[in-house]
Amino acid sequence: MSQVKTDGRVQRSERSRKVIIDAMIALIEEGVYIPTAQQVADQAGISIRTVFRHFSEMEKLYAEIDEVLRPAYTECFVSAEKTGSLKERILTLVETRVGAYVDLLPLQKATAAILWRSEYFRKGYAANQLALRKDLLQWLPELKTTPQRLETVDAVISFEFFDRLYSHQKLAPALIIELINQAALAAFKTA
């Protein structure tokens, strides 16, 4: 009998954790980039006490959400084979990155908003930036020989550059792809 009670408690606990995580993700997708524990509790339809019973601090919740979402957001940056002419590779890379940025916009904005308060996210962000840079060099090994060109292309295909065009200048993704592609190509014509 006690095994059944324990299993029931474990299952309820797992369900509660999932409800909390789903609520946090829903809030982020709605544009609440730094949800409070109370907002998470309200969204989940549970008490704030339940949130803190499962996550004694928001940092632990951030870490668990990252674990849940990491496979999906990592997959967004995977694209076709890294072959073709320089022009073809740049275009495919830009299309892949812009597609990922559009799909992950709320998550990217939440990450940027949380960076200043979360050591976990600062470390994860730095690791992700290194991974994106490594991916860039796999796409465009020609960049290894010209540091200025590498920095330029890395900047113009970044989320920050995309976000300026998309969120602030209100440009459509197709136009953003065209502009970033042109800027990346132009970097190869100079220096």
| Residue spans of the chain under pLDDT 70 | 1-6, 79-80, 190-191
Long-range (24+ apart) CB contacts under 8 A made by 57-63 are 58/118, 59/118, 59/119, 59/120, 61/20, 61/21, 61/24, 62/114, 62/118, 62/120, 62/121, 63/120
In the block, which residue shows the tokens 């369900």? Answer: 15
Measured over the CA atoms of residue 27, residue 28, residue 32 and residue 38, the dihedral's sign is: positive
Predicted confidence at residue 3, as pLDDT, reads 52
Predicted confidence at residue 6, as pLDDT, reads 58
120: Cβ contacts below 8 Å, ≥ 6 apart? 59, 62, 63, 66
CA–CA–CA angle 37, 42, 48 (5° rounding): 45
* C-alpha to C-alpha distance for 117 and 34, rounded to whole angstroms: 10
Q: At what angle do helices 119-139 and 147-156 cross, to 10 degrees?
A: 120
User: In a 10 Å sphere around its CB, with 0-12 CB exposed, 13-18 middle and 19+ buried, how is residue 44 labelled?
Assistant: buried
Predicted confidence at residue 150, as pLDDT, reads 96
Predicted confidence at residue 182, as pLDDT, reads 97
**Model pLDDT for residues 55-97, shown as the tens digit of each residue:** 888 888 888 888 888 888 888 777 667 899 999 999 999 999 9
Predicted confidence at residue 80, as pLDDT, reads 67
Predicted confidence at residue 5, as pLDDT, reads 54
Predicted confidence at residue 63, as pLDDT, reads 87
* C-alpha to C-alpha distance for 50 and 13, rounded to whole angstroms: 10
Measured over the CA atoms of residue 180, residue 144, residue 136 and residue 106, the dihedral's sign is: negative
